[in-house]
Structure 1
């Protein structure tokens, strides 16, 4: 080794360190092909010491069988960089590139040759191909979800309320502004979000839907931001991109934004302000560019006042607020939607059914607490259970449909439940037991519909999800 004792020797020392620590085999020859420098990787690949190589002409090594040919000599002959494959006497295939250096008069001063095992390059290429395939698969999944989501939703606007709303949407849609959709559960906020996306400049890119109340709190950060491999127990060994990454250049729809935990609200705000996303366990950030559409059935202003929602995030997402009227306030849409839903079911099941006039009148007189979702589910149930071609149902019968008893009943009409508790147990334990059994009963009455149960219990859907999880965990225990 060269000892560094002045600036010139330090430079030479640094050069030698670079060569010694290079993964590639490096040869430096003069204009005649005489080897003047080589590194340890070259020693390993040729099974020949540097002392045995330096001073020898490359042609000699070829003649002695160390290589089958010389790329460096080709570069000298052609006076240009040359890349090719050579084979060592041990049968190792190398990908070699030789580049000649010239002085001011155009004479070759030296030739630098880099070689690497071809198998290593092939494995690297295969690894890159797998990464490209993975990225392509994510893109295809996003594209499929986008096409299916937009294709299977219809926007109905027969009422004055919806027509006025659509006038605003058609003005806002082509812009890049964030949109916040307000409306009761089941009013069609996701359908409207998809319509906004379909008329935007990003309509050919991804549309990602995230239900903030449906994803467990301990998983939502990983879903939104992604994670690196080995970030936590149970994580995918290869890591996973988050939904913000998948929405890059496209649109992301955060449904039930009011249910997002406060900790994640702060992270979301940072993403919206600087466009940087960092995966869980990652050390670097990635720039993302997406349009944001949010939706809620809650009063976010009141939540801000109660410190349940970040004020700075509220003003960041509330750029263009749009209010969807409940179905009971737009009767023209009830009739239009009913006919569309029935037409879809007829086509799907091979039916030819129609509504009686009395049935449609009954629809108009019903309050539809579950809005469009309840209307769609009811029509599907009627289409399947009605044996005749004409669906003839009275409005008072709607609340008494099998499996839908609770939605049409007043609280004083509801069934009573017999709940048993442990005797001589602490009050807190008894109250928890009563709550869990009551939730079970309500969910059973609602056929497992969490939204309907939440409406009856007068709590958020997220609270139902959490309490149901607690019940399941305790049952397993």
Structure 2
């Protein structure tokens, strides 16, 4: 066989190699529809050797049923590029594009046709759509996280209650179990939720926060589940993924779960049971895989009894319950948290301020109904408004401050008659019973220590307490001495 040169100076051998290594079916016809060349992919798709195609007219192959029609013949007739779908003898749909070529005089010289399995094209398009959706999901996720202004907070655990809580959190963190955080407003439920996420195997993925009480009832479903384009008036024309989708592979934190409407509770339960999310206006479901952490300041058991919270959902989310103790019950943490907040605000505003001892005593004596959130807000106000280096704050300015609470103790018996000692307690203002009992306990410990001339071992024997517990309480008592004098 004599090798010939193409118009581009390429040997016909190499030209055939190029065609045969194309993933597409390629065949070339003249202006009458006679097949000039066909590559190996054409042979595979038609189950017909090229030797039986070359030299034949396309119409002959159609008559024999190899194709149901020819896009190349349409291109010859219309003298322009034509794209369409043809079906082979084997029932395979091919997406075919035929383009006619013309010489300098406008005479058609040949038609080049490219074909590809339609199923392959559909799968490719679906893959591209998924990739685009994934990219968009990450963009939406970043935008959402930025809008939330998430900040890194540190958990403080100086008190026994918080140390015990952290032990439990460290145990459950690496698992995928659902966690339900109980606690008063401002106790740091979101901070604990972030900590649990940070020590999990999902820590590199998204952490999405949803405040169920802050989103209007008519919008919360769209926020959680997302929606397709045109699904309702005012919807984004491109549609929008829901927060469940954004949390895929990561953690979603549903704060104030007790405020979720009952109809949404049922939908949430279905998501947790089968992992499927369907957007509003959508016809297909998407698989999601997230770790659920919920929080509430309400008693969900009472809500279940009142039928304002679904019992089946309660048992589904209450796998590992963790309770955050209010700040007034863990005074050991107040000073440590105050120091952290002060250091943070000093860095933020380029200050170098410090607390006066009187201010710290005031912090210890206050009941903090707003818990850690209230403490931080107060410290920020003090840092900004205090003139000078030392923050010397009069605690009377705090509303309902227990500074007005006075516990007076008077020893009625001699030291020799310790078994019958009597203490007279007088309280000059109203306060919670637990607060009063806490003060009485600490004052009694102080008196016993005085009786024992500061010997902690002797005081521990009399009080039937551990030495460590007395040391911890003595620290608080010493700070409060001036308050009770």
Same fold (TM over 0.5): yes
Compute the RMSD of aligned alpha carbons.
3.7
* Contact kept in structure 1, 2:262 and 2:308, CA below 8 Å: yes
Distance of 1:256 and 1:140 partners within structure 2: 23
TM-superposed deviation, 1:398? 2.2
Larger radius of gyration: 2
Distance of 1:301 and 1:396 partners within structure 2: 38
Aligned pair partner of 2:137 in 128, 135, 138: 135
> Given the superposition, is the C-alpha separation of residues 281 and 41 from structure 1 closer, same or farther in structure 2, using an over 3 Å criterion?
farther
TM-superposed deviation, 1:138? 2.7
**CA deviation map 1:187-243 (0-9, x unaligned):** 000000000010111111111110000000000000001111111001111111111
* Contact kept in structure 1, 2:99 and 2:113, CA below 8 Å: no
TM-superposed deviation, 1:141? 3.8
Give 1:181's aligned residue: 181
For residue 88 of structure 1, give the secondary structure of its aligned residue in structure 2: strand
Are residue 88 (structure 1) and residue 110 (structure 2) matched? no
Distance of 1:294 and 1:136 partners within structure 2: 23
Give 1:364's aligned residue: 364
Give 2:71's aligned residue: 42
The aligned runs of 1:336-355 (5 Å cut-off) are 336-355=336-355
* Contact kept in structure 1, 2:71 and 2:98, CA below 8 Å: no
> Given the superposition, is the C-alpha separation of residues 96 and 185 from structure 1 closer, same or farther in structure 2, using an over 3 Å criterion?
farther
Distance of 1:95 and 1:143 partners within structure 2: 52
> Given the superposition, is the C-alpha separation of residues 129 and 177 from structure 1 closer, same or farther in structure 2, using an over 3 Å criterion?
closer
TM-superposed deviation, 1:395? 1.3
> Given the superposition, is the C-alpha separation of residues 96 and 141 from structure 1 closer, same or farther in structure 2, using an over 3 Å criterion?
farther
Distance of 1:246 and 1:352 partners within structure 2: 41
Distance of 1:301 and 1:128 partners within structure 2: 42
> Given the superposition, is the C-alpha separation of residues 128 and 258 from structure 1 closer, same or farther in structure 2, using an over 3 Å criterion?
closer
For residue 393 of structure 2, give the secondary structure of its aligned residue in structure 1: coil
Give 1:464's aligned residue: none
Distance of 1:41 and 1:135 partners within structure 2: 42
TM-superposed deviation, 1:136? 3.9
Give 2:318's aligned residue: 318
Distance of 1:322 and 1:129 partners within structure 2: 39
TM-superposed deviation, 1:333? 1.1
Give 1:31's aligned residue: 53
TM-superposed deviation, 1:129? 7.3
**CA deviation map 1:357-382 (0-9, x unaligned):** 00000001011111111111110011
**CA deviation map 1:262-298 (0-9, x unaligned):** 0000000011111111111111111111111000000
Give 1:453's aligned residue: none
Distance of 2:289 and 2:125 partners within structure 1: 33
Give 2:466's aligned residue: none
The aligned runs of 1:208-357 (5 Å cut-off) are 208-357=208-357
TM-superposed deviation, 1:158? 1.0
TM-superposed deviation, 1:342? 0.8
Runs of 5+ consecutive residues of structure 2 not aligned to the other structure: 1-44, 82-94, 402-429, 431-485
Give 1:204's aligned residue: 204
TM-superposed deviation, 1:134? 2.0
**CA deviation map 1:305-363 (0-9, x unaligned):** 00110000001100111100001111111111111111111101110000000000000
For residue 169 of structure 1, give the secondary structure of its aligned residue in structure 2: helix
Please report the TM-score for the alignment, with normalisation by the length of structure 1: 0.62
> Given the superposition, is the C-alpha separation of residues 174 and 128 from structure 1 closer, same or farther in structure 2, using an over 3 Å criterion?
closer
For residue 48 of structure 1, give the secondary structure of its aligned residue in structure 2: helix
Distance of 2:96 and 2:283 partners within structure 1: 38
Distance of 2:138 and 2:70 partners within structure 1: 37
Are residue 158 (structure 1) and residue 158 (structure 2) matched? yes
For residue 387 of structure 1, give the secondary structure of its aligned residue in structure 2: coil
Please report the TM-score for the alignment, with normalisation by the length of structure 2: 0.61
